Amino acid sequence: MTSSPSFSIFSLNKLNRLHTGDAAKPHSHGYYTILVIEQGQGKYAVDFVEYELGNSMVFFISPGQEHHLLCGQQPQGYRLRFSDHFLTENSIPDCFFADLNLFQDFSSSPPLKLTANQFAQLVEYCVQMERYHSSTQKFKEQAVASLLKLFLITCNGSCSLSFDSPHSQEAGFSVLKRFRDLVEQNIRQWHATSDYARAMSITPDYLNRTVKSLVGKTAKEYLQSKLIIAAKRNLFFTDMSVKEIGYDLGFTEPANFNLFFKKQTGTSPAAFRKSR
């Protein structure tokens, strides 16, 4: 997984000339990536799920997600990358980013398809971001951050899930952030929703409903997806045995890990590794 830049934006045409073939190799990064596809043919894979490339679509890729071009011509458009540090430095708060139903690091990450007018607006934001980013203006980073925020708001309007009131929305963000932090810290020890609910002094039912209202999955489904994606990444990128991966993810018996993986994916860990 490559290191994190603060912010970068490239025309995919220019990028293809600089890094011919790199997009076809499975890889991941330590920062957020947005692919703005003006024209594309073939297939693109994100965390082992394949998507058809087309015109006027946007991919949102979270840190750590495996992605690559499977087949077809190199697409045309823009690639944006930015780090958590860039968001913090430019006063883009956690609550804003948490509200975006765009970056999914725990589930399928299909491209966002927008209307012609919406997509044209995104391309204009990209043009302006590229212009500011390559300039020598004093406040260019702040300008880029403002344009990025407008870009994300435009996209979010097409797929956001919301609460009934601002008060419940604020409470939901707090629950979701705490839950995600606990998952990152304890996913290898805690596999049950009740473990996280107990640590947060709330009921499992409330945790499930709150998480689903924000990310479209229950807390249980979120945990299962995180475990499966972690397992797939280990199977693909490491030489660890299936037994070692199971132990690393907190399964006390290899048979339990095999059963869980097959139930969630329809295939065994060994068969998944062989197919890749």
Q: Lowest mean pLDDT: which of 9-18, 103-112, 116-125, 242-251?
A: 9-18
Confidence of residue 47 (pLDDT cuts 50, 70, 90): confident
Give the domain 7-156 fold. Answer: Jelly Rolls (2.60.120)
Question: What pLDDT score does 16 carry?
Answer: 59
Question: What pLDDT score does 114 carry?
Answer: 85
Question: What pLDDT score does 96 carry?
Answer: 78
Chain segment 99-126, per-residue pLDDT in tens: 777 887 776 788 998 888 889 999 999 9
Question: What pLDDT score does 18 carry?
Answer: 45
Domain 166-275, second-level architecture: Orthogonal Bundle (1.10)
The DSSP string of the chain is -BPPPSEEEEEHHHHHHHSTTGGGS-B-BSSEEEEEEEE--SEEEETTEEEE--SSEEEEE-TT--EEEEESPPPEEEEEEE-HHHHHHTT--HHHHHH-S---SSS--PPEE--HHHHHHHHHHHHHHHHHHTS--TTHHHHHHHHHHHHHHHHHTTT----SSHHHHHHHHHHHHHHHHHHHHHTTT--SHHHHHHHHTS-HHHHHHHHHHHHSS-HHHHHHHHHHHHHHHHHHH----HHHHHHHTT-SSHHHHHHHHHHHHSS-HHHHHHH-
Domain ranges of the chain: 7-156, 166-275
205 pLDDT higher than 90: yes
Within this chain, domains 7-156 and 166-275 share the same CATH topology: no
Confidence of residue 131 (pLDDT cuts 50, 70, 90): very high
Question: What pLDDT score does 132 carry?
Answer: 96
Chain segment 81-99, per-residue pLDDT in tens: 999 899 889 988 877 776 7
Question: pTM for this structure?
Answer: 0.76
Question: What pLDDT score does 165 carry?
Answer: 44
40 or 208: which carries more pLDDT confidence?
A: 208
Confidence of residue 213 (pLDDT cuts 50, 70, 90): confident
104 or 139: which carries more pLDDT confidence?
A: 139
Mean pLDDT score of the chain, rounded to an integer?
A: 86
